[in-house]
Amino acid sequence: MALTSQIKTIAVIGAGQMGSGIAQVAAQAGFQVIICDNRSEGLNKAVQGIEKSLAKLFEKGKIDEHPPAILGRIKKTTQLSDLVSADFIIEAIHENEALKKEIFSQLDKIMPAHVTFASNTSSLPITRLASATLRPQQFIGMHFMNPVPIMGLVEIIRGHSTSNETYEITKLLSEKMGKVTVCSQDYPGFIVNRILMPMINEAFYTLMEGIANAEDIDAGMKLGTNQPMGPLTLADFIGLDTCYAIMKVLHDGLGDSKYRPCPLLKKYVDAGHFGKKTGQGVYKY
Ligand code: CAA
């Protein structure tokens, strides 16, 4: 297995909001980065987003290196076969277990034995994803928070067979990317979503039961508990489809009715109102 000093190239699979953020912070940390997505327009959009974010950070003096130099370390590809030179893989596609397993199974066949596989999944079991490969010791959860360039945390999830060495390498890599890590065992929702999502779900019950309107629920929690955004605004920002999917994982995986997804949250999802990304959620954008 590669030591962190031997890790030169990081491959990121998925060029959405999370994948592009991870590619950005990896390049900022000095790694060569290959970002892979089967949609070339998605790759172009990701690079434009990274360019904008780097310009903002540079303007504020939050990074010293000139953005074009950082961007120069990021290569794009639509082919998994182009990732063979990478030393560490971070998968950040949408939460589709079958597709994630298919990608990891393909990579397992083509990637050299020393390469570690990490998934940015926010709720799928790491142990189950690892079972798609013949390297479960070198498989780990590496859960970044959104927006990746700003948020200070990586939640590391140890699967059933994850080795200590894989954990140590992932922790050091996360720290090189400027993040603090916390370690979670592989149970539904890990740490952050196990605690965050029931709060968001409860905010939807509070709204559904007519206890208060959305603005008051958000202002109450934002100003009353010193959170940067209220829970309904945060849900729109994360994506109501994602929040609903995570609540289902908690409900199914823990079997306790206290995790039942709020019917109002489901109604928004049924309507296709996923939040900021679709222009409509609890609020209009
Ligand atoms: N790149 C560079 N800079 C960025 C940026 C990006 N991608 N996104 C935001 N910023 C900067 C802004 O320029 C701004 O900088 P200044 O304060 O220096 O002006 C700063 O971040 C704040 O942004 P805004 O003024 O636009 O908006 P804001 O004050 O509402 O802050 C926020 C935005 C940082 C997202 C803040 O609202 C926040 O921390 N919200 C909570 C986010 C959160 O909880 N994320 C975790 C979600 S849970 C998760 O991710 C796990 C999961 O699995 C679901």
Locus of tokens 């039942």: 260
The answer, yes or no, to whether any atom of ligand 1 lies below 6 A from the CB of 231, is no
Task: Tell which atom from ligand 1 comes closest to the C-alpha of 57.
Answer: 2
Residue 61's CB is within 10 A of a number of other CB atoms, namely: 7
Atom of ligand 1 nearest to the CA of 123: 53
Is 193 annotated in the active site?
A: yes
Q: Are residues 147 and 106 in the same domain?
A: yes
Question: 96 and 158: one domain?
Answer: yes
Closest to 169 measured CA to CA, from 100, 132, 118 = 118
Residues 179 and 215 in one domain: no
- The answer as to whether 110 is a domain residue is yes
Question: Residue 218's pLDDT is what?
Answer: 98
Q: Classify residue 285: in a domain, yes or no.
A: no
17 CB less than 6 Å from ligand 1? no
Structure confidence at residue 48 (pLDDT):
97
Domain count, the chain: 2
Q: Is residue 219 part of a domain?
A: yes
- Give me the pLDDT at residue 6, please: 85
152 lines ligand 1 (CB under 6 A): no
Q: What is the mean pLDDT of residues 155-177?
A: 97
Amino acid identity for residue 189 in this structure:
G
Number of H helices, E strands in the chain: 11, 8
Residue 4 inside a domain? The answer is: no
155 is catalytic: yes
29/65 same-domain check:
yes
CATH label of the domain that carries residue 265: 1.10.1040.10
Rounded distance, CA 278 to CA 24, Å?
Answer: 24
Domain hosting residue 246, numbered range: 195-278
> Looking at 136, 161, 185, which one is the last position of a domain?
185
Number of Cβ within 10 Å of residue 127's Cβ equals 17
Q: Is the pLDDT of residue 1 over 80?
A: no
CATH number of the domain enclosing 24: 3.40.50.720
5 pLDDT higher than 80:
no
Structural domain contains residue 1: no
- The verdict on the CB of residue 68 being under 6 Å from ligand 1 is no
Of 185, 204, 228, which residue is a domain's last?
Answer: 185
Distance CA 118, CA 227 (A): 30
Instruction: Render pLDDT for 66-121 as a digit per residue (tens, 0 to 9).
Output: 999 999 999 999 999 999 999 999 999 999 999 999 999 999 999 999 999 999 99
Residue 3 lies in a domain: no
Beta bridge partners of 90: 12, 118
Say whether 143 is catalytic: yes
* List 20, 91, 143, 184, catalytic entry: 143
Rounded distance, CA 10 to CA 86, Å? 5
